[in-house]
Amino acid sequence: MLSENMQAALNKQIKIEAESSQVYLAMASWSEGQGLEGISEFMYAQSDEERVHMLKMFKYVNERGGHAEVSELAKPALEYGSIKEMFETLFKHEVFVSQSINDLVHISLEEKDYATHNFLQWYVAEQIEEEAQARTILDKINLIGDDKGGLYLFDNDIKQLSVVSSVAPPTV
């Protein structure tokens, strides 16, 4: 059974995960409008992934006897001055999400809610991967600079982007 405090904290994170999906969706739309098909496809896929993160937590709250809430979401930015600005925004957002997950882990330990602590470990590992991926993309964007040819190649390459985290289980 979840404490009221843990339930409230998880519901706050559910909202953050839903807003993350919206952030990626807005970035997908902006990228598509810029003719960046590869980046747009990547962002649509990331939006779907964030929604799955939200649903996983939503179901967990209900399974533990709590009540998962659907809340109003903040409207994400719809325009960016550049690809670099968009990916800088994305990286900062992922760092914010990581901190929020860390805060949840802290609450679970304070409350000796080891089931929730165990559940949250997946999110901790996922955020390490999300931050690494955003950092890698931003590094590539910085390398490209204002080179339109480099951006064209990157737009094609991002379709195959895969960042293996140091905490990811080995693939067999």
Residue list for the binding site for Fe cation: 17, 50, 53, 94, 127
Q: Tell me, rounded to whole angstroms, the distance of Cα 92 from its chain centroid.
A: 11
Query: E strands along the chain, which residues?
Result: none
Helix or strand (DSSP H, E) at 168: none
Give, as one character, the DSSP assignment of residue 81. S
User: Residues annotated as binding site?
Assistant: 17, 50, 53, 94, 127
Query: Do residues 114 and 56 make contact, with C-beta atoms less than 8 angstroms apart?
Result: no
End-to-end CA distance of the chain: 37
Please choose, from the candidates 111, 89, 97, 86, the residue with its C-alpha nearest in 3D space to the C-alpha of residue 7: 111
Q: What is the sign of the dihedral through the CA atoms of 155, 150, 164 and 24?
A: negative
Specify the amino acid at residue 81. G
How many Cβ atoms are within 10 Å of 42's Cβ, its own excluded? 22
d(CA 62, CA 68): 6
